[in-house]
Structures are given as structure tokens and as C-alpha cells.
Amino acid sequence: MPDRRYDVLGIGNAIVDIIARCDDAFIRHHGLDKGHMHLVDAGRSAQIYRDMGATIEASGGSAANTIAGVASLGGRGAYFGKIADDAFGKIFRHDIHSLGIDFGSLPVAPGGPPTATSMILVTPDGERTMNTHLGACVLLDEADVDQAKVAAASITYLEGYLFDRPAARRAFRLAAKYAHAAGRKVALTLSDGFCVDRHRAEFLDLIRGSIDIVLANTAEIMSLYQITDFAEACQRMAADAPLAAVTRGAAGSLIISGTQRLEVAPEPVPRVIDATGAGDLYAAGFLFGVARGAPLATCGVLASLAAAEAISHIGPRPQSELAKLAAARGVGIASVHQGR
Amino acid sequence: MPDRRYDVLGIGNAIVDIIARCDDAFIRHHGLDKGHMHLVDAGRSAQIYRDMGATIEASGGSAANTIAGVASLGGRGAYFGKIADDAFGKIFRHDIHSLGIDFGSLPVAPGGPPTATSMILVTPDGERTMNTHLGACVLLDEADVDQAKVAAASITYLEGYLFDRPAARRAFRLAAKYAHAAGRKVALTLSDGFCVDRHRAEFLDLIRGSIDIVLANTAEIMSLYQITDFAEACQRMAADAPLAAVTRGAAGSLIISGTQRLEVAPEPVPRVIDATGAGDLYAAGFLFGVARGAPLATCGVLASLAAAEAISHIGPRPQSELAKLAAARGVGIASVHQGR
């Protein structure tokens, strides 16, 4: 078996976030569903941008944020995602490379679609509502899946958002096949309640056949099984996947493994400034812990503290070194088993 | 006399900030002077960017930040500055327009230099070190000075950084001439200690001949008069300008008007996250108060609370509505004289 060069390899939509604060009336006026991700075309994207307040730009993309979190925790990451060779593409590439993450996906050819952007509206409660124009992301396909890198990653992590495009879905399944052929694990995040609604049957089929670790929030797991009883949804999840972690907002999270249920307390934060990246960073802490063979309770603590850092500022990626925060909480990389 | 359509009109370098955290060793390794602004060419800019950590992008530019602050306080602002019609130029224009600021400067012609960027390195102490590639800014000249707008602004505010380019210096003097012809006030910030060093004689000449309000920090005023006694420097400033405000970091600031010395306490902040924009936002509060005819003590409070907001997060412009913060402190727009 080749050396495990990476703790986590992420595959996802490579996006630059364009973030502004707004009030709830703005969300209603634009007919948006608060807290969700909306796919928008270039015209709608431009319309929302025109009406938005002053912005901050930062590299984003769900799985890319997770890999950034893994790197910030001291882990080794790799990423597949499609950018264009434009200003936002250069920002995305710079930021992911600056974290020491292996990112070699070729940009789309000149004249192709632009690097994806997500107009993110942050309401006073800290909740974020996203409007994503996929641009270059739509060109990610099986050719972007580098088998050697997948085989060298302890965990290959797939973003549910990729299910919105058939070519990406095929890339997704190919990566899972390569990972399992190399004896590695495959993780999936359900990404968004609406995304689950759009692809429920395929998600269930994939989870039952190919997924070792599921990341989800309460709304997503309820939507997946179309039931309103949380305990029952967890029961179903336990039957479908060997390991799952379900985030519950301010109530913390629940780790599910067979008959085991491990409640994880949230890490306290003075105020939620911007929820963007909370789930992505939870996944970073959890998957880094699992990749290093840490006990599930430790994985939960790593997940919670990474999520807490993400929501305490504007922007989806860590602004403090998570490895230091983890060390201060007694769950630093030195105390996590180096599972090679 | 025409209607005062604007409280403050700013003229400055239109810049998009590219911000990353770094340690002190990075600053030393790159031979930078901590806390200062360095002018860099395209090659040096690219070199620093390559070595920088993960970034956040946000509209910046000293005078533009100040006008953004005036708008956030509920004031009416206008701005002259040169951008290119590229991705960063579009961000700059969007952000300034989204605040309701009048910004009509024509972009440079296609094929010209790119929109200016400043690579800003934030050390753990919150101090920022800037590396500015002026790009399109170098093309700002007298043709960009719209006389009617200058005449309609209570205060025209000039950025010392403009003195690094002869064409901008001429634009600067022309704006001051137009403002005084309309019976308006002209304000100047000294911008940076090194900038003062480069242009000491011209700054003194301009202040004595054309400036009504000077904004500076301790290092800049000492550099201007080449003396080490702060009280003496203030004495000289009082002789040269009718009104000045000098920021002193954690010690607050001092307002100087003739023989009057008004000490202003700093607004407490839990921790300095990023000092970028502190001086610019201090100027916003101060000039907004002066434009509305508020007592100097009120101008000082407005200045301090705007500066405190700026340093409590990454990025140079307000992320909370300053008008609300001011109202909560009893110095909201309703309590400030509407000097029309």
C-alpha cells in the first residue's frame, strides 16, 4: 500500500466567496431561502451583486474550506476543483497553495466560463444565504480525478453540491472507486437541505454502496429520510453508514457509529458573526481526527473548535491557526495518533 | 453658494487590499519596515503575494476608507480615484457605490495599468505593513477633479500618499483651490512617516498655504517638524493649521486648535485584530463631525469609535453600521448639528 501522503483529499466546487451583510428584508425581497445555497445564472448573480452592500472577498468552496481547515490543524491536504485562469482563479489557487495543500487541477481553457463565485448574504443573526454561479466548476469531470492522489489519501471527501452536475457525479463515483480499491475511506457531506431534496435517491444509493463517513446537519438528515423524528433519522443513518456526524447548530453535534451515540458539546463563542464555513470546518476537525485514528470524542472536540473559529469572523476559512487552538484544548496534533 | 451635497469628498489612491496574517520573521525576511506603507513595482508585488499566506480581499485606499466611514456614519460622501476596468476595479466600484457614495471617476483605458492593490501583512500584534502597487492610480490627474463636486462638499479631504506622484500633486492643489473658491474647507492626512520624509518641504508649504484641517499620527507630526518633543510638534502644528487631530495609538488622540488642546480617550476594544484602516476611520468620524458643525469633543468621540470598529476585525472598512454605534454612544447623527 503506498504511503499515506494526505490525511484528507477534497473534491468540490472551487469558489470565491463575495460576502456582504444584509437585513432579513433583503433576503425576502430577493425571494431567497435563508440559510440555503441557491444556484444562480450569470444574470441573476450580477443582479444580486448589484444590490448587495459592501463586500469582502475570500476563497471558499465547501470541500476546499474543509481541506484548508485540515491544513490549519497541521494535517496534509489535497484538493481537486475547477477554476478559470482569471483574477478570482488566481486568488483561489494562491490561497490553497499558501496552506501547503496539493492542488494541481488544470484551469479551464481560455474563453471558457469564469471562476465560480458565491454571493453570500449574512443576516444580523449570523446566518448565511448563498447564491452560487458555478462557472468553471461545471467542467470538473472524471479526467480531473488523479488516481494516485486518491490512493494516497486516508480519506477522500466529497461535497454533495457536486451532485447537481452529471459529469461531477461521475467524477465523484470514480474517486470513491479508486479510494476503496486502495483500502481508503470515503466521506460525503450532504451539503444542503435543498441539495438533498434534489438528489435524495442517488444520495441514499451512494451512501449505502460507497460511503464510510457521512457529514450532515439536522435538516439534511431529516430531508434525506423524509421523517421528522431526529432519533429515528439517526437510527436510519446508523444502518446506512458505518460512521456519521450530525451538526445541530447551537446544540452541538452527534456522532453516530452503529449503536453508539456520542453527544458533542459546541465550543462556546461570544457571538456568531458569520456562519459561513461552520459545517465545512466541523468536517475538517472531524475528518482530521478520524484520519489520524483519534478516539471519536477527540474528533468531536476538534470538529467543534474548528467550527467555533469559523463562525467568529467574516469569511469561511480559519483566520487563526487551528493547530494552536487545538493544542491549547489538549487535542493538538502531538496528542492525536499519527496513523500511518 | 451652492447646496452642500456632500459632507466629505475624498481624493486618493483607489486600492483593493489583499490581506494576510504573518509573523514578524516574515516582515524581517522581506526587508520591510513594520507599520509602514511601501511602494512596490509589479514584480515585487507578485513576489510578496507568492510568499504570503491565505488572503482576504477588500476594497481599501486611505481616503476611500474614510469616505466609506463617513457614509457608514450617515454622512454624504463623494470620491475621486483611478481604477482599471478589471476584476478588482469592479469590486472597488461596487463597494463604494453600495455605500451611496458618489464615485464617477472614469477608469483608465483598456490596456492600461491594472487597478492598484496593496498586499497588507498583519502581524500578531495587529499592526499592518503595506506593499502598494499603484497601477491605475498613477493616471489620476487634474482632469479627474470635478469642480462642481468639490464646490458642493463641506470638506475636501486629500491623502498624503498622492504626493508620491507629480500629476496627483497637481490634482491635489487644484482641488484645494476649487474648494477655497467655494468657501469650503480642505483637509489633509499626512498618511505615513516615510511619506512625510519624502515630501516634507512640500507638505509644509501646502499646509501653511491651503490646509484647514490636518490629520496625522505621532510619528508623522514628529517627522514633519523633525523634532522629538511631542508638545513642541503640536505647538508648531497649531501655528501652521487652524485645526489638527493627532492620533497616538493606544493613548487616544489630541485635537489641536489654536491654544486649545483636547485630549480624546480611545474607545476600548477587547483586542486589536487588524490595525488596517484605524487612521482612515478616525478621520471619518472627525471630519463627519466637523462637517456637521459638531463640538470638537463630539468629533473626537465619533473619530475614536469609528477607529475602534475598524481595528476589531480584518479589513479596513466598517463591518458594522457606525451610525448605530454612534447613536448608542449618544453621538448619533440626530444629535449632530445638520450644518447645511
Q: What is the mean pLDDT of residues B70-83?
A: 98
CATH number where A168 lies: 3.40.1190.20
Which residues from B are below 8 Å from A21, CB to CB?
319
CB A216 within 8 A of CB A280: no
Q: What is the pLDDT of residue B339?
A: 45
Q: Say whether residue B28 is in contact with chain A using an 8 A CB cutoff.
A: no
Smallest Cβ–Cβ distance between A55 and the set B20, B91, B314 belongs to B91
Q: What is the pLDDT of residue A272?
A: 92
* Residue A119 forms part of a structural domain: no
SS (H, E, C) chain B: CCCCCEEEEEECCCEEEEEEECCHHHHHHCCCCCCCEEECCHHHHHHHHHHCCCCEEEECCHHHHHHHHHHHCCCCEEEECCCCCCHHHHHHHHHHHHCCCEECCCCCCCCCCCCEEEEEEECCCCCEEEEEECHHHHHCCHHHCCHHHHHCEEEEEEEHHHHHCHHHHHHHHHHHHHHHHCCCEEEEECCCHHHHHHCHHHHHHHHHHHCCEEEEEHHHHHHHHCCCCHHHHHHHHHHHCCEEEEECHHHCEEEEECCEEEEECCCCCCCCCCCCCHHHHHHHHHHHHHHCCCCHHHHHHHHHHHHHHHHCCCCCCCCCCHHHHHHHCCCCHHHCCCCC
User: Which cell numbers in the block locate residue B208?
Assistant: 501653511
Sign of CA dihedral B305, B306, B311, B312: positive
Smallest Cβ–Cβ distance between B56 and the set A54, A56, A88 belongs to A56
Instruction: Note the pLDDT tens digit of each residue in B128-181.
Output: 999 999 999 999 999 999 999 999 999 999 999 999 999 999 999 999 999 999
* Residue B130 forms part of a structural domain: yes
The residue behind cell 477633479 is B145
Distance between alpha carbon B100 and the CA centroid of its chain, in Å?
18
* Residue A322 forms part of a structural domain: yes
* Residue A49 forms part of a structural domain: no
The residue behind cell 458618489 is B102
Q: Residue A105 and residue A114: Cα distance in Å, rounded?
A: 15
| Three-class secondary structure of residue A53 per DSSP | coil
Smallest Cβ–Cβ distance between A56 and the set B20, B58, B96 belongs to B58
Q: Say whether residue A225 is in contact with chain B using an 8 A CB cutoff.
A: no
Distances (CA, A) of A295 to A298, B105, B339: 5, 59, 66
Q: Give the predicted TM-score (pTM) of the model.
A: 0.94
Q: Say whether residue A242 is in contact with chain B using an 8 A CB cutoff.
A: no
Are B53 and A94 within 8 A, CB to CB?
no
Between CA B239 and CA B243, with CA B242 as vertex, the angle to 5 degrees is: 110
Are B91 and A57 within 8 A, CB to CB?
yes
CA distance B87 to chain A (A): 6
Q: What is the pLDDT of residue B46?
A: 96
Domain that holds residue B236: 6-331
Q: What is the pLDDT along chain A (340 residues), one digit of tens a residue?
A: 557 899 999 999 999 999 999 999 999 999 999 999 999 999 999 999 999 999 999 999 999 999 999 999 999 999 999 999 999 999 999 999 999 999 999 999 999 999 999 999 999 999 999 999 999 999 999 999 999 999 999 999 999 999 989 999 999 999 999 999 999 999 999 999 999 999 999 999 999 999 999 999 999 999 999 999 999 999 999 999 999 999 999 899 999 999 999 999 999 998 899 999 999 999 999 999 999 999 999 999 999 999 999 999 999 999 999 999 999 999 987 666 554 3
Instruction: Note the pLDDT tens digit of each residue in B235-287.
Output: 999 999 999 999 999 899 999 999 999 999 999 998 899 999 999 999 999 99
Q: Residue B245 and residue B240: Cα distance in Å, rounded?
A: 13
* Residue A279 forms part of a structural domain: yes
Complex ipTM: 0.91
State how many domains chain A has.
1
* Residue A282 forms part of a structural domain: yes
CA distance A201 to chain B (A): 38
| Three-class secondary structure of residue A6 per DSSP | strand
CA distance A197 to chain B (A): 33
* Residue B338 forms part of a structural domain: no
Q: Which of residues 36-95 of B touch A (CB under 8 A)?
A: 49-50, 52-59, 68, 86-88, 91, 94-95
Are A317 and B21 within 8 A, CB to CB?
no
Pairing verdict, β A56-59 and A15-21: antiparallel
C-alpha atoms less than 13 angstroms from C-alpha of A123 in its C-beta half-sphere: 16
Q: What is the pLDDT of residue B332?
A: 83
